[in-house]
Structure 1
Amino acid sequence: MLREQLGAQAEAIRQLTHQLDWFKKQLFGPKSEKQVYDLPGQDSLFQPDEAPLPEQPDDAEKRTIKAYQRGTGKKQRDDDCLNDTGLRFTADVPVEVIEHLPPELTGPEADQYEVIGSKTTYRLAQRASSYVVLKCERPVFRRKGTEKLITTPAPFNVLDNSLADVSLLAGLLVDKFQFHLPLYRQHQRIQQAGITLSRSTLTNLVKRAIDGEPAEFGK
């Protein structure tokens, strides 16, 4: 009776060991990404004992490679670059001049120094808002000796009774169709600039601008 129990336990241990080896093979052995096939008659390409070792070069073929050092030479700039930083811009780009005065020229002994030249540094900056409100003031007047009031007419606008300047219409169309910036993102940008405007207003402006006559934009 005891011998039969020991034999059954030994058989169970053998089966469990076989299953454990199979699971280890699934985790750590060569396998396909889809399904593992255990073919005893097929040799494995990943057996550590049979895998060919890479050939080691002879001592005569070994050579020392110098460590790579990143170059610090100056970059080649085009002739039309503004300065060594490579910043270029056209004449219609607004330039804000900022004067930096050292303490020597603003202190109590400033009269002891004289300015003999200046150095210029250019930097590309970004402002919080790219929008501006045009405040058009139109005088209301009358001829002396009369009571009739005269109001200066409003400047021409592409869209009648619209809050949008032609520059805003052009910007909406260019950002949407050339730079693929959706109107809801343009609306978010306008809100971040501190301007309250509904998204439907932008949609209507774009629609009216597309439906308008091209000649109106050239007036």
Structure 2
Amino acid sequence: MLVAAQAREVRKDDRIERLEKLVAAFKQAAFGRKSEKADPEQFDLALEDLETAIAAIHAEDEADSPSEKPRLNSRASNRGSLPAHLPRVEEIIEPESLICACGGGLHSIGEDVSERLDVIPARFRVIVTRRPKYACRVCTDGVAQAPAPARLIQAGLPTEATIAHVLVSKYADHLPLYRQAQIMSRQGIDLDRSTLADWVGRAAIELHPVFDALIADLKRSTKLFMDETRAPVLDPGSRKTKTGYFWALARDDRPWGGGAPPGVVFTYAPGRGGQHAERILQGFTGVLQVDGYAGYNRLIAPDRVGPDIWLAYCWAHARRKLVEITRTVSTPIAEDGVKRIGELYRIEAELRGLDAEARLAGRQARSAPLVADMRTWLTHNRARVAGKSPLGEALAYIAKYWDGLCVFLTDGRVEIDNNSVERSIRPIALNRKNALFAGHDAGAENWATIASLIETCKLNSVDPFAYLSATFTAIVNGHKQSRIDELLPWNYPSARYAPNWKTRWRQI
């Protein structure tokens, strides 16, 4: 018995050591120096592996002590909750016998109820449409038959729901088409990747009027965000990739309770020059919140002809440059700058959710004195630091964009940073990671159209699959162009679209 106990203790010590190593790896991935940190787009994958390994160690521990009731670690696992809308399938497990040992009958005095999440794997089915023909036995005036239902892809195999599934899998779940073809083949459905690509391209064309209505709606606002990210595109002539860009234009008035729904549109452009931003923003007047990219300067050039645009800059980018310095060397000036900007963020967290007027009043009373003091701090320290040093360049960046950084003190609708649009652009980066590049400029434009509608669905807590299915159904049934705004994601599911033909279903 003593030897067995000692062996269990050794195994326990070994498990503890392994857990400590896992925690150390996690801390390094999350908080290590920039050169040692995991790629942010791969960080979730590393975290999954760590959590999987920890769960395996807990399972070993429970197997060694089967008599002990497993204890849930509330920090390591989130059991979640099962929503009420999911269908329930009940199973009743009765004792082997309802006869008591004394010979009497047992009666129910209560029950224990537990719920577990079950899944029926996605499966395909075939919709068989029959259109009976009818003729009169008395006369020969002709044959009566219901018209064939309209299809998004004429004479094609997919229903509108199937096309929506392919789009959501590709642009929301980041499954390239060749992987989707492999998944279908496991159910005996032999479809080429090129066939799926044809469906995607045709669907994008049908969705383009909705995309145009979305961007027009956003540009009617007077406060927007803008950012850009790389979009590698195959250049068939050189057999290499060229660098295009997705420009993201976003609206998110939720932090101050604005009435306009959130939305984002992506527009593909072959370059990063400011002329592309100017083209996209034609017709927009108001405050545009951006990062410090110099290409936006042409939007506020004195000789510019067009609607007035005011640029608000991003404190997160200013803080990021100081944080990068503190990670490499101990610099009291940079650390003090990070602390000062942190105070502004703490105030913003307390003001979030208030209306624009209340936010402006709070900022004037609490943030404005801190910003004024920081201006003095900035001037003083720039005189002490070499201009070409990393710290000098970080301070010069803040000074260069100072007026735009202070816009949030004059308008309660303006955010302190540009993070709203940066969050919307992350799925583009993830899809780019999986797909590597777009095959053509036109392919990148289709990507932008579909991703805009899917990401706007997410911002409005709308299921992209349900939205696209309903939208395609509306389109094939002749939804009027004059009512295109009804098809915008935030109007779903207020408008319920149903086919305008009579159908009769039966199982076969």
Structure-1-length-normalised TM-score: 0.47
Structure-2-length-normalised TM-score: 0.23
Higher relative contact order (CA 8 A, sep 6+): 2
Tell me which protein shows more helix as a share of its residues.
Answer: 2
